[in-house]
Structure 1
Amino acid sequence: MAKSATQGETSPSELIDARIKELGDWRGEMLARLRELIKQAVPDVVEEWKWRGVPVWYRDGMICTGETYKNAVKMTFAKGAALEDPSGLFNSSLDGNVRRAIDFHEGDKIDETALTSLIRAAIALNAAPSGRSR
């Protein structure tokens, strides 16, 4: 799954650090905060760098991605359609059968408690016998 950094290679975590720094604006700050919340909720999370520059977080399967666009930071949950979302965080990719996403825009506040619950629910789904996949 995740490559470990060897001499001359850059680790996924280092690539994510570089992306945050490269953005240098609210999107970098938002991505950094989302990453921090993921790591707090899942201390043993595995970070990967896929699809030409998308941070991806795993634990017993994919949890979510952190894509950056001109006007949004999109946090896509791989199995979001199967998750309860009592706080109504999902606001994007609502038509799909599997994924759901949250688009964060400049100035948006994160409901950190609700997001942490959603992250933990995604992990629980991945860990369930019927939920495991890669």
Structure 2
Amino acid sequence: MTTDDAPSEVKLLSGGNPQIAKGDGDEYVEAYVRAMPDWKGEIGRHLDDLVAEVVPDVRKAVRWNSPFHGMAGNGWFLSLHCFTKYVKVTWLNGAQLDPLPPEDSKDPRVRSSNIRQDDELDDNQLRDWIRQAAALPGDELF
């Protein structure tokens, strides 16, 4: 898939989550971010830009209608997903981050941050979590 092949019309699933074909590479994540509705797209773009800034050699893919960010040989460390009232940032190795991201998970290794429309983002904290998460072993589905 190239950017020219990216779907021009994307179906939005429950909560406004874009339905994007599974695939590896920036272009799949770019298509997902472009399809995120309204304020969610701004958050998605900002988060994707922060990851690229902190981890220039990040690997990207879309799995299960969610963009994933990871390191070759180290697994996935972060994913995004749109819900009706927030964008969920899932830290796949979040239980090892300091400080812990605020939301717990059924999986004890995972933590998340739910970003709502009017939330003020702490870019320094996000950069720190991205830096830490990228350096730790991530999800083995990579």
| Distance of 1:73 and 1:103 partners within structure 2 | 6
Conservation of the 8 A alpha-carbon contact between 2:93 and 2:139 = no
Q: Which residue does 2:90 correspond to in 1? A: 76
Partner of 1:56: 68
* Structure 2 gap ranges (5+): 7-23
Give the equivalent residue in structure 1 for 2:102: 91
Q: Structure 1 residues 23, 122: closer, same or farther in 2, change over 3 A?
A: closer
1:40 — aligned with what? 53
Cα root mean square deviation, aligned: 2.3
Amino acid at match of 1:56: F
Does the aligned pair in 1 maintain the 2:77–2:139 contact within 8 Å?
no
| Aligned-residue offset at 1:54 | 0.4
CA offsets 1:20-68 (integer angstroms, 9 cap, x no match): 22234100100110000001010000000001x1000011211100111
Alpha-carbon distance, 1:83 to partner: 1.6
Amino acid at match of 2:118: G
Q: Is the 8 A contact 1:81 1:96 kept in 2?
A: no
Q: How many residues align?
A: 121
SS in structure 1 of the partner of residue 108 of structure 2: coil
Measured after TM superposition, the shift of residue 94 of structure 1 is 4.8
1:132–1:70 Cα change, 3 Å: closer
Query: Do the aligned partners of residues 69 and 12 (structure 1) sit closer, same or farther apart at CA in structure 2, a change above 3 Å counting?
Result: farther
**Paired amino acid for 2:38:** D
Return the letter of the residue paired with 2:28.
Answer: L
Instruction: Give the Cα separation in 1 of the matches to 2:111 and 2:139.
Output: 18
Structure 1 gap segments, 5+ residues each: none
Cα offset, 1:91, TM superposition? 2.3
Rate the CA distance shift 1:24–1:94 in 2: closer, same or farther, 3 A: closer
Q: TM-score, length-normalised on structure 1?
A: 0.78
